[in-house]
Amino acid sequence: MNSSPSRRDLLSAGALAAGLALLNDAVGADNPAASVADRTSTIKLSALRAFRVGTKAYLKLETNHKIFGWGEVTGLDPNVACDVARSVFELLDGQNPTRIEHLWQKVYRAHRNIRGGSFLTHVLSAVDMALWDITGKLWGVPVYRLLGGPVRDYVRLYPTPKAFKTGTGGPHPFSGSPKDVEELVRRITETRKRVGPDGAVMFDAHCAVPPPMLIQLAAAIQPYDVLFIEEPAVPGNIEVFKRLKQAIHVPLATGERDRTIWGMIPYLQERCIDILQPDCAHTGGISQMRKIAALAETYFVPLAPHCTCSELGLSASLHATFATPLFLIHEAYLDGHLMPPGVARPSFEINKDGNALPPQGVGLGVEVDETMFAKVNADPKRQYKWPHPTQKDGSVTDY
């Protein structure tokens, strides 16, 4: 038997060696374990560019190796988000972008008086997305490969023809009349007809149906009529959620306005939520999504990620979800009302059932067209406006 290496073996070995040499030059990975600070690394963050894109803010983190990453800020005045991001870059300038967890902690804990604040955490979410994007590009793989690889073949999405969420139709009184309750039941019934008996119906209370009326509604439907009731109460008082859980036998879901593991853990400890809904762009990015998923798994609580991002932030959330074992359904809007088509071009495909297949590009797998930003910003319908929810009597209410 001839034991000498073949020409193919030699070429493969040479290609591998060349690839490793290029990677080592970029990342300084001669022996990463030898230095926690990666002192041999030559890649550094060199700039942050922040853009208002309609009601969103896009962040672009650049490096001295011409590799860049993108992240999205949502749920925040984009002009404010851009200013906060530029300020935060003081903590990131010159740092190794692959030290994602270290940089997350550095920003989050930097200022004791704004630690955990929504403005900082929303911006940090976008920074985190961009750091994962850079790291995936450096290693030449999709981000979910860096998270342990996919645990499913597709991610179930809504809205689709077989999964739809209905809302409240506006703020409601603290306790309702038969007509008030019947109107909400009608919305659920019509949505059930729309998706069929094998489809998924979600009801979004949106914190706009106060606890007494929500109890009335839940008593008027069967526990299986909806997949879950979303945002049954305003976050901040766990006792309200405990009271609702005792009175309602429909699955309850929340989490889109709760940030980081510290915001989620009370729901799990008090066993008052059946499904967690972290938002990758609100809760601290991919890094926190992963930690929240691990916490929820210990209580056997699945994730149904909230997402009102464009395709950029949605892609980040999908990467985390593909690597999350306990999962139910994912929110995703691809009809162009959040961002015109082409601004952020994702690499994931939608299968015949309307569900997302794994992203195929490196990093987040999203191409951003900066030339379209001005056109988006010129659209008067895409200007950020502060909401002002009120009851019929003019009083301020939650929504």
Look at 6-10, 173-177, 313-317 and tell me which has the smallest mean pLDDT: 6-10
Burial of 141 (0-12, 13-18, 19+ CB in 10 A): middle
CA 171 to CA 174: how far, in whole Å?
A: 10
Structural contact between residues 260 and 284, judged by C-beta atoms closer than 8 angstroms? yes
Nearest C-alpha neighbor of 203 from the set 272, 245, 264, 253: 253
Number of neighbours of residue 118 by Cβ within 10 angstroms: 13
Total count of residues recorded for the chain:
399
Q: Are 369 and 345 in contact (CB under 8 A)?
A: yes
Element (H, E) at 346: strand 344-346
Q: How high is the pLDDT of residue 47? A: 98
Nearest 5°: phi and psi at 71?
Answer: -145, 160
Q: Is the pLDDT of residue 21 over 70?
A: no
Say whether pLDDT at 7 is over 50: no
The one-letter amino acid at 224: Y
Cis check for the bond before 159: say yes or no (omega within 30 of 0): yes
Q: In Å, what is the CA distance from 346 to each residue of 315, 316, 341, 368, 369?
A: 7, 10, 10, 9, 11
Q: According to the model, what pLDDT value does residue 12 have?
A: 42
Residue 13 has a pLDDT of 43
Catalytic residues, by residue number, are 206, 306
CA atoms within 13 A on the CB side of 281: 25
pTM value is: 0.89
Q: Where are the chain's structural domains?
A: 45-141, 157-382
For helices 285-298 and 118-139, give the axis angle rounded to 10 degrees. Answer: 100
User: Does the domain at residues 45-141 carry the CATH identifier 3.30.390.10?
Assistant: yes
pLDDT at 3 over 70: no
Superfamily of domain 157-382: Enolase-like C-terminal domain (3.20.20.120)
Local structure of 264: helix, strand or coil: helix
Each residue's pLDDT tens digit, 143-175:
999 999 999 999 999 999 999 999 988 888 788
Mean pLDDT, the chain, whole residue set = 91
User: In a 10 Å sphere around its CB, with 0-12 CB exposed, 13-18 middle and 19+ buried, how is residue 226 labelled?
Assistant: buried
Give yes or no for a contact between 129 and 72, defined as CB atoms under 8 angstroms apart.
Answer: yes
CA distance 211 to 241: 9
Rg of the chain over Cα atoms, rounded to whole angstroms, equals: 23
Is there a contact between 285 and 130 (Cβ–Cβ < 8 Å)?
no
**Lowest mean per-residue pLDDT among 18-32, 265-279, 300-314, 321-335:** 18-32
